[in-house]
Amino acid sequence: MSGHHGFEFGEPGKASQVGRDIEITMRDIRYEPEEINVKAGETIRFKITNKGESFHEFGLGTVAMHAAHQKQIAVMMEHGMIEPDRINHERMKMDHGSGGHGMSHNDPKSLLLEPGKSGEII
């Protein structure tokens, strides 16, 4: 089933509609909690903290979406936009041959965090 704005499921939420918060901790080799149960129609604020030593990404998507995104992350690493422990924001803004103006990585269902950083997705 397709949601609004071309999403296969879900859509960006509004803070005024949040029904509950779920705290996510990213570590170097795991996410806590390992499993989350969500009801259809529920609006959730994911509060995400990277407590690892490397950059990490939290993303909501299908297995196929994550597999495709791994290729994008590999390109970002190849072009120095992402380093093992940090995000190079200046390189993210540059055109890396795609004809566009860089890869801002501003997907509303994904969050890229450096070690010690936090963020949220609704």
The domain segmentation of the chain, as residue ranges, is 4-121
For the chain, percent helix, then strand, then coil, each to nearest 5?
20, 25, 50
Instruction: Give me the pLDDT at residue 106, please.
Output: 62
Instruction: Give me the pLDDT at residue 1, please.
Output: 35
Which residues, in sequence order, are bridge partners of residue 113? 56
Distance of CA 81 to the CA centre of its chain: 15
Locate 76 and state its tokens: 């970002």
The arrangement of secondary structure in 4-121, i.e. its CATH architecture, is Sandwich (2.60)
| pLDDT tens-place values along the chain, 122 residues long | 334 445 566 788 899 999 999 999 999 889 999 999 999 889 999 999 999 999 888 988 888 887 887 888 888 888 888 888 888 878 877 665 554 444 555 678 888 899 999 999 99
d(CA 120, CA 122): 7
